[in-house]
Amino acid sequence: MIDAEVVEHARAAGIVLIGVEGQMQEILQHFGPPSPFKRRTPQQLLAVACSHSSPDLLTDIASQGVSDDVWKLARKLRRDVPMGIRISGFEQVTRRLGTDLQRMGTHYCMASVHVPWDWQSITESKSQEEEHQRTEVWNQIDLSITAMGEFQGEPSMESAARRALSDCCSIEVSDFICDYTVQERLRKELSVDIPVHLEDDNGTSIIAVILPEDTVAARFRGVLCLSEASRGFVSTPAVVQASAANKGGEVDGPKMTQVSENKASIPPVSQDSAADVAGKPDGSTMVQGKTIAEWQEEQDQFDGEPKLPPGWLRIRSRTTKIVYYFNMYTTEATFKLPKLPLPNGWQEQKSKTTGQTYYWNRKEGKSSFEPPAL
């Protein structure tokens, strides 16, 4: 008879990132080259063109894309077996995403490359099943999706998948980009019918995340943070390094260029949230596992940090613990500290000679390097 107690089972989940070339370059640069000496999970990331994701092309692409250092390390780790590349883990997911994936000519899927366990790790296995897996199953170079993991305590498949992305690749994607409605809208704009949620042959839940073309990338404390651009702007493809001079966890802002009138962009507010923009925020909206109302009550934990403009909250990521800024009226999220509004008559200017920002009141003939108080 089973004891009447709650048993917390590990939740297995994975994520596959789909984006344009510039975004894939950002991720590859962030992850870095594979180590020729030390095993890691994953060992390498590999951007696979969606148009070449058919099974008959994947083997050649993997063989050409896997680094020589990965081959050398894999052979060193398991000298007792002939070494080869298996694409089944990645292929079964791209197959279930459907043939429309191959029509995304300008997009890439981010794949991960894994090497075998060495004999020392095999002898340190925690169970016979784990030992069997490490010895007989994971003994080749394997091509898989971007990230996959098994975790306890995660409330949903999506949160487990995003934790895998954070733990394996040090990448975090914003709530807005991962939102199901946003993902469905992106698929509609691209005229492709590929599922947002799916399962692989082992029953592992997987989320397929398409990155909007105007995604903003910022590096913060070793994590690559991907978020939506501010309304009306699109970011240039550049990773932004955290500045040592910044205070309160702020990062340098990415360069922004105005979106042309004929360029489609995804607004940061859904039709269901239109009332929020007009006036009241929806206190029941969930952000990082808590409601807006709960985050409002917890803002006192950030006492001592720079003051935020009306409507902005500090939000702490559940996976990386990084604090970012969230506008409860527009649902905009950013890693750059939002600026307080200036008093009437004041304008922000930039010196043509030094490039330094200052504030100018033409009517009063005053200037200041410090933001004027309201």
Which of 60-74, 234-248, 279-293 is modeled with the greatest confidence? 60-74
The pLDDT assigned to 333 comes to 79
The reply to whether omega before 155 is within 30° of 0 (cis) is no
The pLDDT assigned to 10 comes to 63
Residue 219 above 90 pLDDT? no
Say which range, 76-85, 117-126, 154-163, has the weakest mean pLDDT.
Answer: 154-163
The pLDDT assigned to 370 comes to 79
The pLDDT assigned to 281 comes to 57
Alpha-carbon 168 to chain mean position: 12
The pLDDT assigned to 320 comes to 67
Residue 106 above 50 pLDDT? yes
User: Over pLDDT 90: what percentage of the chain?
Assistant: 49
The pLDDT assigned to 13 comes to 93
The pLDDT assigned to 355 comes to 73
Average pLDDT over residues 271-294: 59
Average pLDDT over residues 178-184: 91
Residue 163's nearest CA partner among 186, 141, 187, 146 is: 146
For 250-317, give the DSSP string: --PPPPEEEPPTTS----SS-GGGHHHHHS---TT-EETTEEHHHHHHTGGGGTTSPPPPTTEEEEE-
Q: What is the maximum span of the chain, computed from C-alpha positions, in angstroms?
A: 84
| Residue 240 pLDDT class (50, 70, 90 cuts) | very low
Higher-pLDDT residue of 339 and 254 is 339
d(CA 39, CA 121): 11
The pLDDT assigned to 213 comes to 87
Query: What are the residue ranges of helices labelled H in the chain?
Result: 21-31, 55-65, 68-77, 88-97, 119-123, 128-132, 157-169, 175-178, 180-190, 274-278, 292-297
User: Over pLDDT 70: what percentage of the chain?
Assistant: 81
Write down the residue that tokens 């651009």 correspond to. 229
The pLDDT assigned to 274 comes to 32
Q: Per-residue pLDDT tens for 8-24? A: 456 789 999 999 999 99
Rounded CA Rg of the chain = 23
Average pLDDT over residues 264-277: 31
Whole-model pTM above 0.75?
no
The pLDDT assigned to 156 comes to 85
Domains of the chain (ranges, CATH numbers): 11-227 (no CATH), 272-340 (2.20.70.10), 345-374 (2.20.70)
Write down the residue that tokens 């506008």 correspond to. 327
Average pLDDT, the chain: 80
Q: How many CB atoms lie within 10 A of CB 303?
A: 6
Say which range, 127-131, 211-215, 227-231, 271-275, has the weakest mean pLDDT.
Answer: 271-275
The pLDDT assigned to 46 comes to 95
The pLDDT assigned to 189 comes to 92
Q: What is the DSSP letter of 222?
A: T
Higher-pLDDT residue of 281 and 188 is 188
